[in-house]
Amino acid sequence: MLRVVFNQKGGVGKSTITCNLAAISASKGYKTLVVDLDPQGNSSQYLLGDEADNLELTAANFFEQMLSFQLYKHETGNFIHQTPFDNLFVLPSSPALESLQGKLEARYKMYKLRESLAKLGDYDMIFIDTPPALNFYSRSALIAADRCLIPFDCDNFSRRALYSVLDNIQEIQMDHNQDLAVEGVIVNQFQARATLPQKLVNELIEEDLPILETKISTSVKIRESHESASPMIYYAPKHKITQEFLKLHEDLEHVTPQKGEAIKTA
């Protein structure tokens, strides 16, 4: 299973959701890979800590190799690094991804990620973290993926962005990846006692958007886990947020994702 976590809006929790769901998969015995395509590298930092700053082979080297007319020097697996956690691996990001983007787009390399990940073969679960933009890297991820998860922060700006995200995913489905399915919208940083988040979520449900039942609450514990470079299942396994991520992971095993015209937008 290859999932992409995507939203064009920043600050909605893509990296947090990616790493925590991947860590839960790994804790359940699935060999799991996180592919970090955001030049900011938050997922890489979350899973590797300071070690992420000192790696010789990263996603930037992986994509740079695609620009060479010579035979590939490294197999895809050479760019993947073991994290401190059992069964959990990462293809780490690099700031150099930013400068490579124009060259990769010019040579139309958007299908290369899908081809490379398909050749790996030995991972049960792959999660791709994307930059907050519809650019070469996020398009490559959407083309490579089987399913898409969309983090949603409860405010009107996020709501407006959500419709655009769904439209762009439909375009990718029609033009590049008919097998891509929207697995659901994850409501993140949810405040159950506040009126506005409840109102927004209810309205989206009434619009028949694929809002997942389990919501992720707001908690300072998440920031602590970032600082400790340890996803919640390892950092605070009994915490409320951890239990929410566990329930979300369980829900995803039973979701019937939406494809193509089944996705409705306002």
Q: How confident is the model at residue 258 (pLDDT cuts 50, 70, 90)?
A: low
Residues with Cβ within 8 Å of residue 69, at least 6 apart in sequence: none
| Distance (Å, whole) CA 78 – CA 168 | 32
Rounded to the nearest integer, the mean pLDDT of the chain is 91
What counts of helices (H) and strands (E) characterise the chain? Answer: 11, 7
pLDDT per residue over 226-250, tens digit each?
999 999 999 999 999 999 999 999 9
pLDDT computed for residue 108 by the predictor: 87
Measured in degrees and rounded to the nearest 5, phi and psi for residue 82 equal -70, 135
Taken in order of first residue, the domains within the chain and their CATH numbers are 2-255 (3.40.50.300)
- pLDDT score of 264 more than 70: no
Instruction: Return the C-alpha torsion angle 21, 22, 26, 28, nearest 10.
Output: 20
- pLDDT score of 259 more than 60: no
pLDDT computed for residue 98 by the predictor: 95
pLDDT per residue over 48-64, tens digit each?
999 999 999 999 999 99
Q: How confident is the model at residue 196 (pLDDT cuts 50, 70, 90)?
A: confident
The model carries a pTM of 0.93
| Distance (Å, whole) CA 177 – CA 184 | 17
Residue 82 pairs in a beta bridge with 89
Measured in degrees and rounded to the nearest 5, phi and psi for residue 30 equal -80, 135
Measured in degrees and rounded to the nearest 5, phi and psi for residue 22 equal -65, -40
pLDDT computed for residue 198 by the predictor: 86
pLDDT computed for residue 197 by the predictor: 80
pLDDT per residue over 72-81, tens digit each?
678 888 999 9
pLDDT per residue over 203-220, tens digit each?
999 999 999 999 999 999
Mean pLDDT for 21-35 is 97
Q: How confident is the model at residue 160 (pLDDT cuts 50, 70, 90)?
A: confident
Q: Which two tokens stand for residue 67?
A: 């620009």
